[in-house]
Amino acid sequence: MSSPVIDRHEQRRLRTHQQLLDAAKCVFSKHGYHEASILDITEEADVSKRTFYLHFTDKEALIDELVQQSVEEVRNQISAQKEKLSDLPSREIHFYTVRTIFDWANNNPALTKIIFGREGSLKLNGLTREYMALAFENDMEEHCEFLQMPPVSP
């Protein structure tokens, strides 16, 4: 089955959408989430404010998508390596998973501050912490067989 062909208008829309995300990442790194304005982002992306609102309802929708992309990036890195690591003890697989998350955080300090610190929205902080807890819980259930009857749930 062949993949669907994307027309040039859709390609341009996707490219502009990603330009806005990349510009936001740059602006948030320079100014922080709260100090960054939509105008700063549109100027960095070299698009109009009207174009911004064709892609995002507000700055929070943009940061939500930026974080979602980052989560997918980390998830894909982990998934790509899991098959290669399948012969390792489960503790080492879990260590790799945690290490990948911390490496991403170290390489993306501005986004890390927005996601986990006071720089971001409370909604974003809550969603990210909930996602991290679920990811660790799933990873522990999948890879941590070292306790037959743990005293607490993963």
Neighbours of 81 (CB within 10 A): 14
Whole-number average pLDDT of the chain: 81
CA distances from 153 to 92, 97, 136, 141, 147 (A): 20, 19, 12, 9, 11
pLDDT for residue 139 is more than 70:
no
pTM over 0.85, yes/no: no
Q: What is the torsional sign of CA 111, 115, 117, 119?
A: positive
Q: How far apart are CA 4 and CA 82, in angstroms?
A: 29
User: How many percent of the chain have pLDDT more than 70?
Assistant: 76
Stretch among 4-13, 109-118, 144-153 having the lowest mean pLDDT = 144-153
pLDDT range class, residue 38, cuts 50, 70, 90: very high
Q: What is the pLDDT of residues 69-126, one digit of tens each?
A: 888 888 888 888 877 777 877 777 778 888 888 888 888 888 888 777 765 666 667 7
Identify the pLDDT of residue 12.
93
Give 125-131 contacts, CB < 8 A, sequence gap 24+. Answer: 127/64, 127/67, 128/67, 128/71, 131/71
Average pLDDT rounded to a whole number, residues 117-145: 66
Identify the pLDDT of residue 94.
76
Q: How far apart are CA 122 and CA 89, in angstroms?
A: 37
Of 12-21, 57-66, 128-137, the range with the highest mean pLDDT is 12-21
Q: Which comes out higher in pLDDT, residue 146 or 102? A: 102
Identify the pLDDT of residue 121.
62
